[in-house]
Structures are given as C-alpha cells and as structure tokens.
Amino acid sequence: MKQASFMGDVDLLVVGAGPAGLGAAITARRLGVNVLVVDDQDRPGGQLFKQIHKFFGSKEHMAGRRGFSIGLDLLAEAESLGVTIRLNTKVLGVLENRVIWMMERDGKTVLLQPKRILLATGGMEKAISFPGWTLPGVITAGAAQTMCNIERVLPGRKILMVGTGNVGLIVGYQLLQAGAEVVALVEGADRISGYSVHAGKLRRAGVPVFTGYTVKQAAGTVGVEAAEIIALDNDWNQVAGTEITFDVDTVCLAVGLSPNTLLARMHGCSVVYKPDLGGFLPDHDENMESSIHGVYVAGDLAGIEEASTALDEGRLAGTSVAVSLKMIGNSEAESMKRSIRGRLDNLRKSSSRREEPGFNGVYSLQRMKQVPGYPAEERIKKGAVVVIECAQEIPCDPCVSSCPFGAITLGPDITRLPVLAEDECKGCGMCIAGCPGQAIFMIDYNLAEGKASVAFPYEFLPLPRVGDRVTGTDKSGKAVAEVEILKVDNRKSNDRTPVITVSVDREFIHQVRSIRMEEG
Ligand SMILES: Cc1cc2nc3c(=O)[nH]c(=O)nc-3n(C[C@H](O)[C@H](O)[C@H](O)COP(=O)(O)OP(=O)(O)OC[C@H]3O[C@@H](n4cnc5c(N)ncnc54)[C@H](O)[C@@H]3O)c2cc1C
C-alpha cells in the first residue's frame, strides 16, 4: 500500500452513494455545502442499482420508477449540482479527530478531515445455519440479486427461497423473470411478512408458499442437490414427520438485514438495539446526528426500512449539516425539516401491513370485493373498468398519478388503499403498468356474446402473440380456462411492463389474472 496523502478541504464527507447518501449530498449542496461522496462500488445508488423492479413511495421518492434508474437520476442530479463523487473508494477507518482513511481503486490511500461526516453505509444481510448450509449453492438473496441483475449469471436453475420479507419476495420474482424455477417460498412466521402485492406476483406465477416452515437441511456432495423443509409449532420447534424435500440446486436465504454499523462503531458512536429496525444501530437524534458531534447517520444504517425513507432521512441529515455549518438559518431549516419529517411519518404509517395468520399471498374473492378499488358488479357489467386488487396499506401512490381522468384517489395519507371512482374510469388501463405492485387489472364485460376481456401486467419472456391460445391462470397460478390473446401492449410509457389482454368466458372474469405459456 502506498503512503497516504492528505486531501484538501471538504465540508461534508458522505460515505455511501445509496439513496440516503445521495439524498443528503443533493440537499446539502443545494444549500451551499461543499460535498464529497465516496462509495466502494463502481456504480451509484447503493442497493438501487440492483433493483430492476418499480418502486413504491410517492412522487418525491420517484415512485413507480425502477430502482436502478432512480439511482442514475440521483447521481446525475448530484453531479449537476457540483457534488464530487468518487466511486470504487472504500473508507477503511475513522481515526482520531474525525480523520477519515480511505482507499481508492488503484490502492492509493487518502486521509481527509471533513468538517462533517454522514455515514450512509446501508445494511448487511443476515443468515441462518442448518446442516448443509456451507454447501456451494446456499447463498443470500443479495448475492443472488447481484449475480442475476448485475453479472447476468443465474445462480441456479431450481431455487428454494427462505424468507418472505420484501427482499425474498422481490428477489424470488426477479429470479423467475431471469428464467429460474422458484420451487417454493418458505417462511418461519405464520404469514408472509413482506408486501402482499409482491407475494401476489409470485403466487400468480404459481410459486407455492409454506408459512410456518423452516429449512431443515440442505444435502448434496459437491453442491446443493436437495433441500428439506419442516413445519414449526407455535414455539418454533420443528415438528417431526412434516418434512418436505425439494429437488433444488440453490437455497437462497432472505432472512433479514441489519444496519452496517462498522464505521460508526469504529468512530465510537453509541449504538442502541432496535429489533424492529434490524438490530444494533447508531443512536441518533431527530436531526440524524449521532452521539458524536458532527457525525450524522441516515438510511438503512439508521434502521432497516426502505429506499424512500432512506432518501428522506438523507435529506434531513443534509439539511441539518447545512444548519450546523451556518449555510441556512434555523427558521428556514425548520420548515424544510418539518416537511421531510411529515413525509417520513406518512411513509411509516402502514398500519395494516400484516395479514391474517397463514396468509399465503392469495386473497379470497370475497375479501377483494370489499376493497375500495374493486368496482361493483353492476359497474363491471356496464363496460371496461379497472379492478384494483390492493388490499394492504403500504406507502405507495403511483396509481393516482397514472390515471388521466382522476378516477383513482387515496385518502389523507400515502398508506391508504386506493379508491376507485368507478363511474369516472374510462377503461384506458393506463394504471395497469403504472402500479408497482401489479395489482391493477381491467375487465371489459361486453366484449362479445358471453365473452369478456381481462387485461393484466405480464413481465415475463417470451411474450405471447396476438391470436395465441394459452392457459388463463388465477391468483395462485392454477389453470382456469383456455384464453385467447387479444392484445400485447408493450408501449414505451409502460416501462417494460407489458399489458396483456385476453378474451375469457364471462364466468371467469374474477378468476383469470395471468397466463401460463406452455414450454417449447
Ligand atoms: C432486494 C431488495 C429490494 C428492495 N426493494 C425496495 C423497494 O421496492 N422499495 C424501496 O423503497 N426500497 C427497497 N429496498 C430497500 C432499499 O434498497 C434500501 O432501503 C436502501 O437502498 C437503503 O439506502 P441506503 O442509502 O441506506 O443504503 P444502500 O443503498 O445499501 O447504500 C449504501 C452504500 O454504502 C456503501 N458502503 C458501505 N460501506 C462503505 C465503506 N466503508 N466505504 C465506502 N462505501 C461504503 C455500499 O457499498 C453501498 O453502495 C430493497 C432492498 C433490497 C435488498
């Protein structure tokens, strides 16, 4: 390693170019702070650059856009404002008097003593151990996602996904899109723990969910060849005799994240234990300042949540830094902070996220008909109308802005369920591709004598062709009836969420929600 050299003046050093770090850098720079962002990856965006799905949140969080493009936009915005960004640069340590020691790609080490530091180092994946867990083929969901979405290598052909938080659900869906078979999702709790709309995408593709189960062992000689799951009782003891064996080559662990506190601890920041936020995290005040004056934290490091919250926490930290450096006055800063905190409160309001025990990603028709986005039967019979099957309060609103007729509204905050003004809906279907949860469908009851059409999002290849006759499937991937493809709408504004319209017998309008293309 070469001799470390000292870098010039920096007001704010941001460690981590994820949404938290970039959100802070953009805000602080706008307020006149001289900012340097470093990240050990070769792309900006932290976790975002692996995320190929459309994000939740609101317009302020760039909701409805795919994660990687949000990362690129944040980077462009930061650069256009004059933020200096050094990728491939790892912070190795924090020395005395806030001196930062970092290494660049060429092995050159640099010292720096910024006036303020924001640690936005994200989270780290947790794992569980079981017989066979050291076999090649047992990997974490983050590793699977990096292989699949960055390196373009499928980690395996037949995959057992352990964990049904959002990470397990999203990575499971992306593995399916990449062509792997996800044989099952396994969840120790008695219900799916991630968003039901994410689970719905896998269920429609026919992936079974075993709640109240864990992985008992993985077996194989040079790598995973099989995995056994087993039921758990109420005290999480394994119930002998309930084993189920899957023929798989990969076991993917998505069992949670914890804040990446390495640098914060090295700096001496006090940590607190908050199990609902991922475990130990740096203690911080409402301005995101840690126990050490001038050292701020934001994003997953400050508690595992989401990119939208990470972005706003970063903006809050960036504002706090600007005040502490006297770049803006207190009253201006307080009004900025109030609006950011208001958004954060809203994002955290998802009160009814948890479903009933044993919920496995498929709502009954009876429950669906009670949600405010499901039109009445009389309205359905009048002609084309959308059907919003969104039954869980999560922070998400792109459906509202995607409707050109204002037919979809939310209640007073972003976690409310969408309400459909069914008589205002013109059946244009613009909201189908706009819904990140893929929970909006369209029914045209009066297609022809005894026939209706159903339209749905379909993000798998190969796409069907108009005129094909394929199997129409229900919310759990079960065959319902043969259907004919009427339309494949893959326009640019759908942003790679094709909308497929099929013709079905009228009796199946509440069942058919996807298709299965036969192999070969
Ligand atoms: C599979 C998956 C799907 C997700 N889907 C969604 C979603 O749909 N919607 C949503 O809102 N959120 C989603 N999230 C969550 C979201 O990605 C994270 O909450 C968010 O990225 C956290 O932002 P962050 O800036 O705190 O950390 P990160 O995005 O993790 O960024 C931290 C950065 O710091 C860098 N770093 C760490 N240590 C150092 C060091 N010593 N030196 C230099 N650099 C360092 C890391 O390499 C990384 O680039 C998902 C996460 C995963 C894993």
* CA of 174, closest atom in ligand 1: 1
Strands (DSSP E) contained in 88-225 are 90-94, 100-103, 109-112, 116-119, 123-125, 138-140, 158-162, 181-187, 209-211, 213-219
Q: Is 264 in the pocket of ligand 1 (CB under 6 A)?
A: no
**Contact between 73 and 64 (Cβ < 8 Å):** no
pLDDT tens readout for residues 25-56: 999 999 999 999 999 998 878 999 899 999 98
pLDDT tens readout for residues 355-364: 778 889 999 9
Task: Please determine, for residue 4, whether its predicted confidence score (pLDDT) is greater than 70.
Answer: no
State whether CATH 3.40.1210.10 applies to domain 5-124+258-347.
no
String of DSSP letters for 241-290:
T--EEE--SEEEE---EEE--HHHHHHT--EEEEGGGTEEEE-B-TTSBB
For ligand 1, atom 49, which residue shows the shortest CA distance? Answer: 46
Task: Please determine, for residue 353, whether its predicted confidence score (pLDDT) is greater than 60.
Answer: no
Helix (H) or strand (E) segment spanning residue 36: strand 35-38
Helices 307-324, 19-30: axis angle to 10 degrees equals 30
Mutation choice for ligand 1 from 15, 51, 110, CB with most ligand atoms inside 8 A? 51
Q: How many angstroms separate the alpha carbon of residue 166 from the centre of ligand 1?
A: 14
Q: Is 297 in the pocket of ligand 1 (CB under 6 A)?
A: no
Residue intervals of the chain classified under CATH 3.50.50.60 are 5-124+258-347, 138-255
* CA of 22, closest atom in ligand 1: 25
Sheet (strand 84-86) strand order: 84-86, 35-38, 12-15, 116-119, 295-297
Structure tokens at 140: 């974490």
Q: Is 23 in the pocket of ligand 1 (CB under 6 A)?
A: no
Q: Is 38 in the pocket of ligand 1 (CB under 6 A)?
A: yes
pLDDT tens readout for residues 154-169: 999 999 999 999 999 9
Task: Please determine, for residue 288, whether its predicted confidence score (pLDDT) is greater than 80.
Answer: yes
Q: Is 355 in the pocket of ligand 1 (CB under 6 A)?
A: no
Helices 67-80, 19-30: axis angle to 10 degrees equals 30
As its CATH architecture, domain 365-516 has: 2-Layer Sandwich (3.30)
Task: Please determine, for residue 109, whether its predicted confidence score (pLDDT) is greater than 70.
Answer: yes
pLDDT at 351: 52
* CA of 56, closest atom in ligand 1: 9
Q: How many angstroms separate the alpha carbon of residue 301 from the centre of ligand 1?
A: 9
Task: Please determine, for residue 248, whether its predicted confidence score (pLDDT) is greater than 70.
Answer: yes
* CA of 306, closest atom in ligand 1: 19
Structure tokens at 33: 């702070």
Residue intervals of the chain classified under CATH 3.30.70.20 are 365-516
* Correct CATH for 138-255 of 3.50.50.60, 2.60.40.10, 3.20.20.70, 3.30.70.20: 3.50.50.60
pLDDT tens readout for residues 191-230: 999 999 999 999 999 999 999 999 999 999 999 999 999 9
Q: Is 333 in the pocket of ligand 1 (CB under 6 A)?
A: no
Angstrom CA distances, 227 to 129, 162, 246, stand at 13, 11, 5
Q: What backbone phi and psi angles, to 5 degrees, belong to 472?
A: -80, 135
Helix (H) or strand (E) segment spanning residue 479: strand 479-489
**Contact between 350 and 415 (Cβ < 8 Å):** yes
* CA of 263, closest atom in ligand 1: 41
How far apart are alpha carbons 374 and 391 in whole angstroms?
10
Classify residue 463 by burial, with Cβ atoms within 10 Å: 0-12, 13-18, 19+.
middle
End-to-end, the C-alpha distance of the chain in Å comes to 55
Q: Is 397 in the pocket of ligand 1 (CB under 6 A)?
A: no
Query: What is the band of 3 on the pLDDT scale with cuts at 50, 70, 90?
Result: low
For ligand 1, atom 48, which residue shows the shortest CA distance? Answer: 46
Q: How many angstroms separate the alpha carbon of residue 510 from the centre of ligand 1?
A: 38
For ligand 1, atom 20, which residue shows the shortest CA distance? Answer: 307
pLDDT at 33: 97
Q: Strand 514-516 relative to strand 469-473: parallel, antiparallel, unpaired?
A: antiparallel
Helices 196-204, 166-177: axis angle to 10 degrees equals 30
Task: Please determine, for residue 498, whether its predicted confidence score (pLDDT) is greater than 60.
Answer: yes
Q: What backbone phi and psi angles, to 5 degrees, belong to 256?
A: 115, 165
Helices (H) and strands (E) in the chain, counts: 12, 30
Task: Please determine, for residue 86, whether its predicted confidence score (pLDDT) is greater than 80.
Answer: yes
Task: Please determine, for residue 281, whether its predicted confidence score (pLDDT) is greater than 60.
Answer: yes
Paired strand residues for 219: 226
How far apart are alpha carbons 499 and 427 in whole angstroms?
13
Q: What is the mean pLDDT of the chain?
A: 94
Q: What backbone phi and psi angles, to 5 degrees, belong to 283?
A: -65, 140
For ligand 1, atom 19, which residue shows the shortest CA distance? Answer: 306
Which amino acid, 508? F
The SS3 assignment for 497 reads coil
Helix (H) or strand (E) segment spanning residue 433: helix 430-434
* CA of 61, closest atom in ligand 1: 11
Q: Which stretches within 31-146 are classed as H helix? A: 67-80, 141-145
For ligand 1, atom 7, which residue shows the shortest CA distance? Answer: 55
How far apart are alpha carbons 102 and 112 in whole angstroms?
8
The SS3 assignment for 223 reads coil
* CA of 171, closest atom in ligand 1: 1
Query: What is the band of 350 on the pLDDT scale with cuts at 50, 70, 90?
Result: low
Q: How many angstroms separate the alpha carbon of residue 219 from the centre of ligand 1?
A: 32
Mutation choice for ligand 1 from 103, 110, 121, CB with most ligand atoms inside 8 A? 121
Q: How many angstroms separate the alpha carbon of residue 367 from the centre of ligand 1?
A: 35
Q: How many angstroms separate the alpha carbon of residue 149 from the centre of ligand 1?
A: 15
Q: How many angstroms separate the alpha carbon of residue 16 from the centre of ligand 1?
A: 9
pLDDT at 107: 86
Position of tokens 């640069």? 89
Q: Is 172 in the pocket of ligand 1 (CB under 6 A)?
A: no
Mutation choice for ligand 1 from 47, 53, 173, CB with most ligand atoms inside 8 A? 47
CA R_g for the chain: 24
Q: Is 278 in the pocket of ligand 1 (CB under 6 A)?
A: no
**Contact between 427 and 383 (Cβ < 8 Å):** yes
How far apart are alpha carbons 75 and 73 in whole angstroms?
5
Helix (H) or strand (E) segment spanning residue 457: strand 451-457
Mutation choice for ligand 1 from 85, 149, 296, 306, CB with most ligand atoms inside 8 A? 306
Nearest to 91 by CA among 4, 22, 19, 150: 4
